[in-house]
Chain A
Amino acid sequence: MAERRDFDEFVVTRSSRLLRTAFLLTRDWALAEDLLQTALAKSWFAWGRLDDNPEPYVRKVLVNTYASWWRRRWRAETPTESLPDSQAHGPDPTAQVDDRDELWQALGRLPRRQQAVIVLRYFEDLTEAQTADVLGVSTGTVKSQTSKALARLRLDPDLAAHPILNGGR
């Protein structure tokens, strides 16, 4: 019963953050909720063996479930906010919105493992070692997957005019 209470409390207090990760992988809130619930249900059966911080384990289950077989939906994004009025001087803010939309679309064209690496490194802010642990691969594989993902983005036709600088942590 105590385990059940702890599990339910985790779901109520911590699962929303994992939902955001699931969304960045599936790119659809309904699918993200399905993926998250699947991961939580799988995690329940290991709950008694987890330490005080189960979130890394649940994240691991979530990402690996996604990477191994989860279907992904492709659909065009529609803007949810009105664009600001154009300014007489300074950078065109609508161009920045377009750039971000294009980058989001380009991220969706990455293979699943590369997309998972990008989400874990740049949204979850995990180190290479932590990312390797989540995905069950070596740090060398994480480095190469990150490089390949950035290279693909660099070569993406929609982003061809916006070269990505190599940055590292």
Chain B
Amino acid sequence: MALTDTDLRDVLADRASAMPADISLARVAAVDRRVRVIRRRRAAGASLAVVILLLVVTGVSGLFRDPHDRTAPVPAHLQKVAGDLLPRYNGGGQATAYTSFSTDVKRESTFTFTPTSRNFLVSFRCDKDMPQSQSVTVTVDGKPFMAGGCNAGITTSGPTFGAEQARADDLGLRLGVPVKVLVHVAQIVKGSKVTPEDLPVYRGPMAVYRIGVAAYSPMSVADYPFPPRPRTLESLDAGPNSENRLLGKVDSRSVGADGHGVVQTTLTSKGVQFELYAVAPGAVTMTVDNQPVDVARFWTWQGSGYGGLVLTPDALRRLGVDVKAGDRITVGFAGSRFTDPGWRAEVREGS
């Protein structure tokens, strides 16, 4: 069979037609990041001569420094607040208001926070793990904000995708207007109306904990003090795995650091659940039938998980995806801002 120019055109058109789900919106953010990187490189090149001069000057002046002066500025990504329990920079934001206290002195504390963005975060952390019968509750101007056990890990609460305004409305927030944040440590009593029957009862005096709570205002990615890349990244396979039925997965080790991949599945009434794990800073945009439905942002080189929210057919329709149970859907994951292939994503059946 002879091949003609037409066959050549047909082969090229045929191959190009098998394009994965369009991620034009995510591409805008990815290109923006690359533009910023190019700008920083250009600025660094221009100021290199100045840096060299300064290094020479400080090197000379260092000869005359007090040899007993051991103070040195702590790198931004290592600075702590709230009794040294929380990082100054966390989750893409800077702590602008915080408190810390010890439970042998008091059971609650308040601080004033002025939100400048609806995407603010609140984090808390304890110096050791609380038992299940104890919990920390946080209210904002008297309205419930977050609650849960407190341990040596950082617990962070932020608005879910597309719900920033709804959260602000629920809390009665207005940007620029201060709010009162109350942190309270409670001991749950078995048999109370809010206590599951199988919750263990803590008998005896409450142990002494130090608790730190901070409110973070989001920063631009360009200004955020990312920690330096470690020599070796943590294993991407070490992250948590849900027990829900696996429907498909996308791994940056296959698609590339800022690559994208899709999972096609049939939507059931249980919905779908996205579970992501990352060991590098970056963002992953999640789409369903090309409509963005969530964005997971990672800010450290420590393994971090993201997910758990179940997207039922109703939830997807509220996010602008016109689907119903039984429809075939295409779930997309697109990485951006990653310098390493350090993320993986799973689509699981909702529970």
Contact = CB atoms under 8 A, between A and B. Distances in A.
Interface residues of A, number: 44
Contacts of A80: 18
Interface stretch (B25-33, B103-111, B188-196): B25-33
A100 B16 contact: no
Contact of B11 (A15, A20, A34, A107): A107
A23 B259 contact: no
Secondary structure type dominating chain A contacts: helix
A167 interface: yes
Interface string B22-47: 11110110110011011000000000
A122 B4 contact: no
Secondary structure type dominating chain B contacts: helix
B124 to A, nearest CB: 37
A37 interface: yes
A137 B284 CA distance: 40
Nearest to B31: A40
Contacts of B17: 20
B10 interface: yes
Given A12-B28, A36-B27, A44-B35, A164 B4 contact: yes
A13 B24 CA distance: 7
A11 B5 contact: no
A34 B259 contact: yes
Contacts of A118: 8, 12
Contact of A23 (B3, B5, B15, B260): B15
B74 interface: no
A30 B259 contact: yes
Contact of B1 (A20, A31, A96): A96
B251 to A, nearest CB: 11
14 contacts: A12-B25, A12-B27, A20-B17, A23-B15, A29-B259, A29-B260, A30-B254, A44-B31, A103-B8, A104-B11, A107-B12, A165-B4, A167-B4, A167-B5
Interface of B: 1-5, 7-20, 22-25, 27-28, 30-31, 34-35, 37-38, 254-256, 258-260
